[in-house]
A and B are shown apart, each in its own frame.
Chain A
């Protein structure tokens, strides 16, 4: 199971782009990278998942370099409501891993006015 390292916390301001980098130096060939968001007193919410290069959806982009030893979640033009904990997860292909999620400590993002 690949260990992930991400910053404990980050501060930003409304309207800015927030980039959170996750290190996963021992990522395996079949591992996928997934990001979740969690607001206080709520369950986590899926943001994005990728294997290599770049993935974009309506809320975020995920950048994965060729060596896949790190990944960066990019949140464009954040608002106060984006204040949350963001988790980076790395694990075997869902079909093999049984869709089990392994969460680390996460990054607490605080968006200020």
Chain B
């Protein structure tokens, strides 16, 4: 059984550019959540996908968007990058809210630097 994987590991982009981050969920998990973690802060919830549909969104602007594919892998897209978007982006997979647990399995993250 493979864990949650994310790609790329590190990324450097210029302000105004667009970026796509990818996540492969743990086998059997149908729910994927994305989080942004600034240096020295706790992770902040961006949004969640359940069976290919967005299932909740945090306080992030529309330029943060996502997709979930039939195999439950996911993408996070950020348009018009700003310097404040520099952070560690974490993906977490789980069996979904009906499991009655807050246990989510996190990937190692993608470190995005915007210059």
Q: Do A and B come from one complex?
A: yes
On A, residues with C-beta under 8 Å from B are 32, 34, 41-46, 49, 87, 89, 91, 93-106
Of A32, A98, A102, which is within 8 A of B55 by CB?
Answer: A98
Give chain B residues whose Cβ lies under 8 Å from the Cβ of A105: 41-42
Q: What sequence of 0s and 1s flags, for each residue 6-34 of chain B, a beta carbon within 8 Å of any chain A beta carbon?
A: 00000000000000000000000001010
On B, residues with C-beta under 8 Å from A are 4, 31, 33, 35, 41-45, 48, 50, 55-56, 58, 90-92, 94, 96-109
Give chain A residues whose Cβ lies under 8 Å from the Cβ of B100: 93-95
Do residues B42 and A94 form an inter-chain contact, with CB atoms below 8 A? no
Cα A34 to Cα B90 in complex, Å, equals: 18
CB closest chain-B residue, reference A45: B106
Of B42, B44, B94, B102, which is within 8 A of A106 by CB?
Answer: B42
Known: A87-B42, A101-B35, A101-B43. A94 touches B48 (CB 8 A): no
Do residues A104 and B96 form an inter-chain contact, with CB atoms below 8 A? no
Do residues A94 and B101 form an inter-chain contact, with CB atoms below 8 A? yes
The list of the 4 closest CB pairs from A to B, nearest first, reads: A43-B106, A103-B42, A99-B97, A46-B103
Of A34, A99, A104, which is within 8 A of B33 by CB?
Answer: A99
Of A41, A49, A103, which is within 8 A of B103 by CB?
Answer: A49
Cα A2 to Cα B33 in complex, Å, equals: 21
Of A44, A45, A98, A102, which is within 8 A of B97 by CB?
Answer: A98
Give chain A residues whose Cβ lies under 8 Å from the Cβ of B108: 41-43
Cα A49 to Cα B103 in complex, Å, equals: 8
Do residues B45 and A100 form an inter-chain contact, with CB atoms below 8 A? yes
CB distance from A11 to the nearest CB of B (A): 18
